[in-house]
A and B are shown apart, each in its own frame.
Chain A
Amino acid sequence: MPVYNNNAAAQGKKGSDVHKGAGAKVPKASIKKKDEEALDVAEGADERTNVKANMKPANQVQLTEAELKEEITRVLTANNPHAPQNIVRYSFKERSYKSTSVVDHLAVHFVLEGSLLHKDSEEARRLRIRDGLCKEPAPTENKAESEEDHAETPATPVEDRGEGEEAGEEERPDSAASRPDKKQAKITNQFNFSERASQSHNNPSRDRSCQTEPPQRVTFSATANQWEIYDAYLEELQKQEKSKEKQKTTLLKKDDKSKKKMTQVETQGDDLTKVRMVSKIMERMVIQNIMDDIAQDFKYYEDPSDEYRDPEGTLLPLWTFHYDQVRNLSVTALSWNNKYQDLFAVGLGSYDFSKQEGGMLLLYTLKNPAFPEYIYSTDSGVLCLDIHPQHSHLVAVGLYDGCVAVYNLKKKPHPVYKSTAKTGKHTDPVWQVRWQNDDLDNNHIFYSVSSDSRVVSWTLVKNELIFTDIIRLSVNGGVSDGPDGAQLSNISRGTSFDFHKQIDYLFLVGTEEGKIHKCSKTYSSQFLETYDAHSMPVDAVKWNHFHPDIFISCSSDWTVKIWDHTVKTPLFIYDLGTAVGDVAWSPYSSTVLAAVTTDRKVHVFDLNINKHEPLCQQPVVAKKKTKLTHIEFNPIHPIIIVGDDRGDVTSLKLSPNLRKKPKSKKGQEQPKGSEAEVAKMDKLLSLLKEPELSTV
């Protein structure tokens, strides 16, 4: 009956998996239980009803007869029902997923670890010894002995053992404990030994490394040719000679040591002073680059429109020389250097009586229009200056406070010479200075004129300035009586002078009263001649560069007058409209002259072309209120420099019309240079004189 029930139950479980083995047993067991319960119920029910009917549980699957009779085979296999059957693994070799068919079907139900030891294993032996079951030698002792003495026969360990044993018998309790100790090391295990350890803090290790810069590599190249070899030999020679000299001098002098120290110090260090020349050149070149067009104009530009504007000419502005620190000073003197014709000196001071500040002496070069080459400041305003025609490093300067000074551009202490009250300085501003030829002792001499009515010559003797009064200017008529009976000495104050180019002793002095006196260096009290020139102080008197008789004067009474020194009246008078600051003859022509006025205009005349009107009347400075104070022609270049009362110097180029030379007739050889100029002037004068004669 249970079998049948089982079958029925199995049929009932037809839908489920046919898993056999352990898994099958359980459902069978449960089925059995159920069946037993069912049987119990059934038996109970049977007892009641006495019917051997199958009791079906309520949820038993209802099957048809045919299905009930169906035979189902059940197979018992040894497969692990829990083992997965569909493992898929990725195979790298075939680059795809592949199912692995081989699956381990081992199921472990129960594991128990045993505690059996092989009797010959180490641990077993140790245990045995501990337990004292065997008296075999400890394995460790064996090892130790074998290590110590391989040559020892087995007899010796036996002896040792025997001794040990004897010793042990005597001292039983100790040996019993010590022997195993001697023979073997104590085995530590977790039951008889506890170990404590501590570790000190280990500092973390750090790597420190240093790398120096690799030594710089420099490529060195040089050419070896005869030139180099020669140079090297020369240097050696020079060195040897120097060392010989030094040896000689060490015997004599004692301060050689200090000299050596000096030389050492010079070579050390970051000596930038040697770069001075290079940096100067650099500055000039940089500025030239910037002002390139002006430089080109200076050299090459000739105004082409002059052909159409005959006879007029123009002035082309070139550089403007401006120095910031002299903004409130006016240019009081200009002078070109004869030797270096691009170098000119500018004296700065103030014409204003009330505003007297310091003065400056600047030297500019055309090569560097941006910054002066030499800068000297003076205590009082500079009123005049002159550069020595031969020794172009000497500059004589006259100051507002009456002093004269000489600057040597090459030497350091400035000024080199200066006059003081003791040494005869003027008591009034010095209006003009001029260098003269050296005296018999080859000392340099210069002259100065001042409004204290003295014309003084100064001689540079060694370190001093020695003065000599040349002349005292006084009005003709001597002493006159003043209103209160006091005697007024009529001194006339000199404001300008000029020396004759050829005749050494002859010079002209212009005065504040407007008179011009012709004087000689040899006569100290008398004038050779006096001309009533102007109504206001004579600002400038200049001899003509070529013609020996002609000179020109200008004054603040608006006029420019040209004279022949043999004639008392002027030859030409030009009224320029405003006060004339300065006038200058041109160095290339005897008939060209230029004048500057306070209305910032420059007037250029060429008497050969137009006797009555200027060829060019051009305002030169931008700002309306600046007055032009001085003008000078450059000795060789066709440019003029004009100073104004703002401390700026403007350079202008003369257009071709202003520089005309007399045309040479064909076939006639024109006498060149000064002779031509003199001839030109003479011709002019003759034209003048004829009408004069005719009127007379």
Chain B
Amino acid sequence: MSEVEEIMKRILSHKGVEGVIIANTEGIILRSTLEDQSTVHHVALVQPLLMKAKKIVQDMDPEDELTYVRLRTEKNEEIIAADKDYFMISIQTPSL
């Protein structure tokens, strides 16, 4: 568990990273560096997107698995890495 914390710390130490959220597939938030309100907001919105993305991948190719989803917007880039039980969101301002 401390390994994950370490990795989180390293991710956060990079410039441009605004926040990291770890939650499980039911939407329960495990770790977050943003405030509660916005975290809950984020997770609630990302969850159905992630489910849909998983279904897409599975439907197209049964043996394939979703690894991550990148959401690039004008202001931010959100990377949502998905696992069977957990997913992790990191929000980064692109260093371009």
Contact = CB atoms under 8 A, between A and B. Distances in A.
A89 interface: no
B5 to A, nearest CB: 7
Interface in A242-301: 270-283, 285-287, 289-290, 292
A185 interface: no
Contacts of B51: 221-222
A277 B95 CA distance: 25
Nearest to A279: B7
A370 interface: yes
A223 interface: yes
A221 B79 CA distance: 23
Interface residues of A, number: 29
A218 interface: yes
Given A272-B30, A290-B95, A283 B10 contact: yes
A558 interface: no
A193 B90 CA distance: 87
A371 B4 CA distance: 13
A325 to B, nearest CB: 13
A272 B20 contact: no
Contacts, number: 92
Contacts of B10: 283, 370-371
A55 to B, nearest CB: 106
Interface string A218-231: 11011101010000
Given A227-B59, A272-B4, A370-B10, A277 B68 contact: no
Given A285-B68, A292-B96, A274 B11 contact: no
Interface centre among B5, B7, B27, B96 (most CB of A within 10 A): B7
Interface string A147-173: 000000000000000000000000000
A286 B22 contact: no
A47 to B, nearest CB: 116
A198 to B, nearest CB: 56
Nearest to A271: B1
Contacts of B5: 272
Given A274-B86, A286-B90, A289-B92, A279 B17 contact: no
Contacts of A221: 48, 51
Contacts of A222: 51
B67 interface: yes
A417 B1 CA distance: 27
Interface string A200-222: 00000000000000000011011
Interface centre among A223, A272, A278, A285 (most CB of B within 10 A): A278
Contacts of A271: 1
Given A272-B1, A278-B88, A223 B79 contact: no
Given A275-B88, A276-B4, A278-B88, A289 B20 contact: no
B11 to A, nearest CB: 5
A696 to B, nearest CB: 63
A279 B79 contact: no
Contacts of A292: 94-96
Nearest to B70: A285
Given A221-B48, A272-B5, A290-B16, A282 B79 contact: yes
A560 B67 CA distance: 48
A280 B30 contact: no
B30 A275 contact: yes
B86 A278 contact: yes
A289 B77 contact: yes
A270 B92 CA distance: 26
A371 B7 CA distance: 9
Contact of A282 (B30, B59, B81): B81
Interface in A63-100: none
Nearest to A231: B58
B75 interface: no
A284 to B, nearest CB: 9
A333 B14 CA distance: 29
B85 interface: yes
A3 B86 CA distance: 124
Given A275-B86, A289-B95, A282 B11 contact: yes
Contact of B11 (A219, A223, A227, A283): A283
Nearest to B80: A282
A340 B8 CA distance: 25
Given A275-B86, A292-B95, A285 B79 contact: yes
A270 B17 contact: no
A282 B4 contact: no
B56 to A, nearest CB: 10
Contacts of A218: 27
A285 B31 CA distance: 19
Interface string B49-81: 001000100110010000110100000010101
A231 B96 CA distance: 43
Contacts of B14: 286-287, 290, 370
Contacts of A371: 10
B48 A272 contact: no
Contact of B58 (A227, A273, A274, A285): A227
Nearest to B94: A289
A227 B94 CA distance: 38
A49 B8 CA distance: 135
Interface in B1-43: 1, 3-5, 7-8, 10-11, 14-17, 20, 22, 27, 30-31
Interface centre among A218, A223, A280, A285 (most CB of B within 10 A): A285
A595 B70 CA distance: 42
Contacts of A280: 7
Contacts of B16: 289-290
Given A285-B81, A286-B14, A290-B15, A279 B4 contact: yes
A289 B82 CA distance: 18
Given A280-B7, A283-B10, A270 B86 contact: no
Given A275-B30, A279-B8, A223 B81 contact: no
A346 B91 CA distance: 32
B68 A281 contact: yes
B61 to A, nearest CB: 11
B93 to A, nearest CB: 9
B22 A272 contact: yes
A671 B14 CA distance: 49
Given A278-B86, A281-B67, A283-B10, A273 B1 contact: yes
Given A279-B4, A282-B7, A285-B90, 20 more contacts: A221-B48, A223-B55, A273-B3, A275-B30, A275-B88, A276-B3, A276-B4, A278-B82, A278-B83, A279-B7, A279-B22, A279-B81, A281-B67, A282-B68, A282-B81, A282-B88, A283-B7, A283-B10, A289-B16, A292-B95
5 contacts: A221-B51, A278-B22, A289-B16, A289-B79, A370-B10
Report, nearest first, the 10 A-B pairs whose CB atoms are least far apart.
A278-B83, A272-B1, A279-B7, A282-B81, A281-B81, A275-B86, A272-B4, A278-B81, A278-B88, A285-B79
